[in-house]
Amino acid sequence: MILKGAKTRLRPVREDDLPPLTTWANDPEVRHWLHHSERDDATVDDAREVYMSSKEHLLSLAIENDAGALIGVVRLLGIDRTHRRAELAIMIGDQTAWGSGYGTDAMRSLLRHAFEDIGLRRVELITDADNERGIRSFEKCGFVREGVLRKHRLRHGEPLDMIGMSILQEEFEAQTWK
């Protein structure tokens, strides 16, 4: 499956993507924003398990920029076909791509697939409360803040609030960018 956006192309994760994905997951500046910032360093085997799993309730897609370079990964987690919902997760690991709209474009492509092809009615996410760049991107995609998860995770040993956000199918359909 290939999903094309205005600035990105989403495709299945390949074996040769695993080394850069692992490097990014272990980069302190990237890892700062990841939910697993307190875990041990990732290995290529960890990345293979996370990103190349063929489980029915997971979808992981590599993000390529408009030049065809790998810049990150976007995922749907816990795809629940009964309740028609899933959780979105994204990592733009290539820091030179930060702030360039690639994440927003990739999420829009994935949301289009989630709502139009998979038939979901809700996509949700949680993000660090201080992730201003990420929150702006999520809101550009139509996500709405639902609430605060107080001291939900640890970052460098300190409790951190997180923001729960979601977009519903009818909200997606009302988007002018779709």
pLDDT in tens, 128-163: 999 999 999 999 999 999 999 999 999 888 999 999
Other C-beta atoms lying within 10 Å of the C-beta of residue 91: 20
pLDDT in tens, 40-61: 788 898 889 888 877 889 999 9
Domains, the chain, with CATH or none: 3-173 (3.40.630.30)
This prediction has a pTM of: 0.93
Instruction: Give CA separation, 149 vs 127, 141, 144, in Å.
Output: 10, 21, 15
